[in-house]
Structure formats: structure tokens, C-alpha cells
Structure 1
């Protein structure tokens, strides 16, 4: 039975190992139906533990880098290196997610990170930590995070009934926003108590994640087994799917432009308010809260609008908000635009993720998604530099109008790109 068939049952089915696959929800809340899906709960809780542990080191890593090197440049270098590691890991992660046992991939990714994080925590306790060790930890941890997430996406497709995918994607996003609100401040407090404490907590979180993943009963093995002589042809199938699938092509171009516009806005706010930590802190917290709210309402919105209308509407909303701030010249209003952007972000992300699950063949979804992500994220490193250059060369108002124009370009892309005219109100039949 293929992964797609495994999500198309109209009645609860029992697997060979005794696990029960949740029936599609009809006449009842899909969120409630997900709560009865044992394996989805295990997958969700395991990653929640891992994400929370990782969020504890979000502030601790740059703070430790500065403490070890005495230079803030080291913190920036670690961030850039981590991004490059994530970018380069996209393609092998997609290959593993398609052709290896997803349970084993997730367990190995967690196990390696647990060992490395634990060793580094011990070195910190012994006052033997070094910057190069933190660099290795960042590179390996970032790359394995991509590998884990790719396998998790394929696992969710198998575990969750097809008509519940939008809700599953949305509450997974909501988890991330909720953790981003609580984790970094908590990690900062723990770091102040002891440098090693956040890293010890992160180590424990990987162990908890492994325990949850290990208890998943649904078979997560792929139909096809990888062969060494088929490595390059199999890897190339992701690129072939991207080239031949109109939705994936449109999604990739749209995501590339959107990533640049949103990231440029984020860094314009951060750099522009770097000397006003109170306003910046409130803006970032409000943005995280808005993202949490957006994640919860995403399924309701997705099921009522075609994908193209949704993408165009979100881009227009974002651009209009930024333009209004530029027109009024109100700095507080401009900082608040970040919350509007993040409120709509989970709706767009959940819609595109759901469409990918529903309209891309399960056999090649991991490789196709990783190829798409590899291309669509290539412009993101430009965003911080672009924001800095705009604020250096132009007035804040002109920079804001430029950002508004960027979102107008996003709306044009969403309107014109073929393959985005899909509906997401998919029901089981």
C-alpha cells in the first residue's frame, strides 16, 4: 500500500502491527479527530520537545559565541553558517525522506544531535568549551534538523487522514509559534544562571523526542528501497518533478519572492529599532503571538478560498499595511506591520504545505519538496544586506515604500504564475 492510499481510507483501519489509523472526520471537528490519532500525537509531542529544547539555545548560542570570542561578529558568522548548512541539507534530506525508513531517519537525527549536544554541555561544565566546537554543533545540528523535518513531513502524510492534513499542518505551525514565544526568553534566563544549562536541557529534549518517535506504531517504511546504483537517478527525480509539476514551479517562484520580501521587512524592523530594545521586543513578541493566532485560523480560511485568491489576498494585505505605515510616517505603526505579516504567514505556509501533500505524488514528495525549498531559499541571505543598505542610503519612509512595492510584486506573482489555481477543501471520498 502506498503512502497516498494509506491516507485515503474512509473507515478506521488496523495495521499489521495492531496500530489503528484514524478515520476521516465527518460531522465532527477535525481537530478533535486528530486528538484521537495516537501516532500523530506521538509525532507532534516528540517534535514539540525537540523544538522547545532547540529554542532554549536560540539566544544561548550567539551569547556564548560572543562570550567565547569577545566579538559580536562571531555570533553573526554562526547564524550565516547555520543557514548555509540548512540550505545544503535540503536535497539529501528529501532523498532520505523518500527512500529510507522515516522512523529510523528521525531516530538517527535525534541520536546524533543528542550525543553532540551532550558532549558540548559536558565541555561547558568543565570550562573547556571552544568556538570551533560551537561551530561544529551549529553546522551538524542545523543540517540534521532539516533531515528530521523532511522525514517528519512524510511520516505525517502516512499517519494523518487526507482530509485532516490542513489541521495537522496548522497545529504543527501553531506549536512552533507558541514555542518561539516562550523558549528564547527561558533560554536566556537559564544561560544567565549557568552557560551549560540550556544545552543540557536541549540534550534531554532530543532523548524525549526519540522516546515518542520510537513508540509510533504505523509503519513508516517507503514502498521503494534505495539502491546504490540508482542514487543519482533517484535524486534527480525531485528536480524532474519540480520541472514538470506546474504547482511546484509556481510555489517555488512565489516562495522565493515572498521569502525575500518578508525577511527584508523583518530585518528592516530589527535594524531600524536596534537602539530601542523595548519597542523591538514588543514588536517581535506581538509577531509571534500573531503567528500563533494565524496558525489556529489557517484551516478555516484555507477551506473557503482557492489557493490563488488566498495568496494574492495575503500579499495585498501585507503590502497595504506597510504602505499605510509609510504614508503616515508612524514608526510604531511600521513596527506593528510585522505582526500583520506574521498573522498571515501561517495561512500561506499551511496552504502551500497542504497543497504539496495533496497534489504531489507521495513517492517523490520529499525530493521534490527539498528541490523546491533549495531554490526558493536562495535569496534569503540577501535580505539582511538589502535592509541594511536601504536604511543606510535612503530615508526610513523610502525604505518602507520599497518594501510595500516588494509585496505588490508578490501579489503579481501569485496572480500570474500557473499552477496556483487549486482548492484546498479536499474531502475523503
Structure 2
């Protein structure tokens, strides 16, 4: 029984290239977490301004969206392995710049914002290629296991990596943090270099506005994909409570629990990923995604109504697990139905949806929290999310009816 719960490791055992890419992500994620913590700490030290730290989000958003869309077109036009490699090297060079800046007698503020914006742009270029390369490395029947393994790696870094990074920065300082990040990028780039080339097909379109619009038209012409995007938008835009956590912690009389609230959803996702062995046996991916997204909304209702800090953490962890399952089956469905020649551009659209939802969610949470109170803003958001998922299920019948069949997969692994 326990073996049936543990995540499948077949992609790691059978695909050399997936194993290299997975290890690359594991190595670089630790260094990235270090820098993600180090930059706001350094901005705080230089300015003492919460606003200056908050501006990081504004600097990141536009480059990520713009370059994510263009990166999707590039991923369909050039070797995806080379694109991932070159962008990984570029991210490493940005970390070198951060290291050189902190070594100055008087470190400058503006290079930090430049690095944040440039990293968002390069990450936008890399993301679609990284997403689109996975179906080339593993066969369709292993896609769910591969995505679960990637999520397990990400959630492990989010919890363990963040905790270790915080200690390292406080003990060794910012210089050591940036230096370690540079080293991890070097190791990661070497691992990606060993991945076999992933050339584009003979009918590849050169990157252009016309190529990007082709991807948008394809996505909009597929009700199955539109339904999956709507599920993600509804769940995050209506029920994401992160912007209210500081107020909610005070409201339940436990301000000390704030850090645990932020890590609870990742912990739930980690537990779900570590027990995801059952997921590869599911064929009704659309229904699984809808149910999991609705359970996310139910969890947020519980968060808003909970009078106790421990129950709040339990409901957040439950929500994190539900969110993992929804993301897992949305990614599996996406990789099964999107043709290889369009995967980069569709991954760019996926990145756009994934960026817009949380931003809208923070905006909604802040607005409703100010108008109706913190708790009410959280539980009504969860309720609205459940209702919205129900409307998506009623309107996107192809999503409800979808059942994976091996012969439907558009492109086998190389």
C-alpha cells in the first residue's frame, strides 16, 4: 500500500536527459532561493524602506510577461536544450554581477533592481523552453510522474531551501549567499550541457508576432485548454489569500505564526507530491483538476472561518495539497494535448496565466480585506472560487469529458 503512494521514479531511472535536467533544477533551486532572500535583505539594509523592497514585484512582472510570450515563440524555433543552457548561463552571470556589487565598499542600490528585472526577463525566456522540453525527454505515460517529481523538487526547495538559506545569510552574510548562487549556476549549466540536443522540427516557425499569435489562436480554439486556464485563474484570482496573511495572523491572536502560514501551503504540496504514486493511474485529468481546484476553494473557506492558528495551518496545508493535484493534472493534460511544434508558445501563455492569477488574487484580497474585513475576504474568496469552478465545469464540457488515451498523445518522447 505504501509503495502505491510513493511518487513514481521511472522517469529518473529510465531517462538520462530527464535525470540530468532534474538534478540541474535541484542544484540551482537552492542557489536561487538564497538570492531571492538575499536581495530583499540587501535592499532593506541599503534603504530601510518597505516600499523599496516591495518595488521588486513591480520590476519583475512586466519583463516576465513580455519575455515569457516571446520565449515561447523562441522555444518553438530553436533547440530547446540550447535555450535552457544559454538562459541558465545568463542567470549565472547576473548572480556574478550581484556578487561584484556586494563586494564594493559601498554597494549600490540600482544594480539590485536591474538584476531583478533582468532575471525576470531571462526567466521568462527560459520558462517555456523548460516546460516544452519535458515531453521530449519522457514518454507520455510517464508525464504525470515526471511532473510530480518536478513539483516534489520545487516544494522541497521552498521549505528546506528557504530555511537553510535564511540561516546561511544570517551566519555567513550576503557575499557568501551570492557566491554560492554563482557556484550552483555553474554546476547546473554543466548538467544541462550534458543533455542531448533537442532540435526543432522541420516545420518550425521563426519567432515573430505572427508565430505568437498562432499560439494564441490555437489556445483559444481549444475549449479544453481554455477551460484549464480558467480553472487556474478562478482559483488564484478569487481565493489566493497570501496578501492578507500578516493581518490574519494578528486576527487569530498568533502573529508569530506568520512564517508558518507562508510555508504551510508548500508543506501541503510537498506531502501531496511525496504521496503521488496514485496519480499516474488517473485518466480523467479534467475532472481531477476541477475537483482539486474546488477543494482549494474549500480549504480557503476553512482558513477564513478558522478561530485557531493550528486549524488555519492545517487548512493551508490541505489547500497546498489540493493546489499541487490541480497543477499536476493541468500540466499532464497540457502536455498530452498540445502538439510539439506549439509547446513553447503555449507554455508562454501558461506562464502569462500563471503570473496574472496571483497578481489579481493579491489585488482582490487587499481590496476586499479593506472593505469587508480580513476573515470575510478570505472565506468569501474561497466560496467564490468554488462557485467559479462549478461554472467552469458547467461551461467547459470537454474538460469534464476528457479522458487520456495513449494514442491521443501528439508527440512521443525522442
In 1: Cα distance, 2:293 partner to 2:388 partner: 6
In 2: Cα distance, 1:284 partner to 1:120 partner: 27
| More moved, 109-118 vs 376-385 | 376-385
Number of the residue aligned with 2:12: 34
Number of the residue aligned with 2:179: 200
Q: 1:237 aligns with which of 207, 211, 214?
A: 214
In 2: Cα distance, 1:46 partner to 1:324 partner: 38
Over 3 Å counting, the alpha-carbon distance change for 1:33 and 1:183 in structure 2 is closer
**Matching of residues 295-314 of structure 1 within 5 Å:** 295-298=273-276, 300-301=278-279, 303-304=281-282, 306-314=284-292
Deviation at 1:286, TM superposition (A): 3.1
Deviation at 1:392, TM superposition (A): 2.9
Give the secondary-structure state (helix, strand or coil) at the position aligned to 1:347. helix
Deviation at 1:355, TM superposition (A): 0.7
Number of the residue aligned with 1:353: 331
Number of the residue aligned with 1:150: 128
Is 1:118 aligned to 2:78, yes or no?
A: no
The superposition leaves residues 316-357 of structure 1 with CA deviations (integer Å, 9 ceiling, x where unpaired) of 323333434555644542343211111111111111111111
Number of the residue aligned with 2:244: 268
**Matching of residues 231-380 of structure 1 within 5 Å:** 231-263=208-240, 265-273=241-249, 276-298=254-276, 300-301=278-279, 303-304=281-282, 306-327=284-305, 329-375=307-353, 377-380=355-358
The superposition leaves residues 35-70 of structure 1 with CA deviations (integer Å, 9 ceiling, x where unpaired) of 232111101111211211101122211111111122
Number of the residue aligned with 1:416: 394
Q: 1:67 aligns with which of 27, 45, 48?
A: 45
Give the secondary-structure state (helix, strand or coil) at the position aligned to 2:356. coil
Over 3 Å counting, the alpha-carbon distance change for 1:285 and 1:267 in structure 2 is same
* Structure 2 stretches lacking a partner, 5+ long: 1-6
Contact 2:239 2:300 in 1 (8 A): no
Number of the residue aligned with 2:3: none
Give the secondary-structure state (helix, strand or coil) at the position aligned to 1:383. helix
Give the secondary-structure state (helix, strand or coil) at the position aligned to 2:174. coil
Deviation at 1:182, TM superposition (A): 1.6
Deviation at 1:166, TM superposition (A): 0.7
Over 3 Å counting, the alpha-carbon distance change for 1:307 and 1:101 in structure 2 is same
In 2: Cα distance, 1:117 partner to 1:412 partner: 45
Give the secondary-structure state (helix, strand or coil) at the position aligned to 1:221. coil
In 2: Cα distance, 1:174 partner to 1:119 partner: 30
| More moved, 144-153 vs 307-316 | 307-316
Is 1:402 aligned to 2:394, yes or no?
A: no
Over 3 Å counting, the alpha-carbon distance change for 1:85 and 1:233 in structure 2 is closer
Contact 1:99 1:224 in 2 (8 A): no
Is 1:393 aligned to 2:367, yes or no?
A: no
Contact 2:63 2:124 in 1 (8 A): no
In 2: Cα distance, 1:105 partner to 1:231 partner: 17
* Structure 1 stretches lacking a partner, 5+ long: 1-28
Is 1:101 aligned to 2:66, yes or no?
A: no
Give the secondary-structure state (helix, strand or coil) at the position aligned to 1:273. helix
In 2: Cα distance, 1:133 partner to 1:142 partner: 14
In 1: Cα distance, 2:137 partner to 2:355 partner: 28
Over 3 Å counting, the alpha-carbon distance change for 1:66 and 1:33 in structure 2 is closer
- For this pair of structures, how many residues does the alignment match? 398
Contact 1:267 1:384 in 2 (8 A): yes
In 2: Cα distance, 1:414 partner to 1:71 partner: 42
TM-score normalised by length of structure 2: 0.88
Q: 2:111 aligns with which of 105, 122, 133?
A: 133
Number of the residue aligned with 2:4: none
Contact 2:264 2:320 in 1 (8 A): no
Contact 2:231 2:290 in 1 (8 A): no
Give the secondary-structure state (helix, strand or coil) at the position aligned to 1:381. helix
Give the secondary-structure state (helix, strand or coil) at the position aligned to 2:399. coil
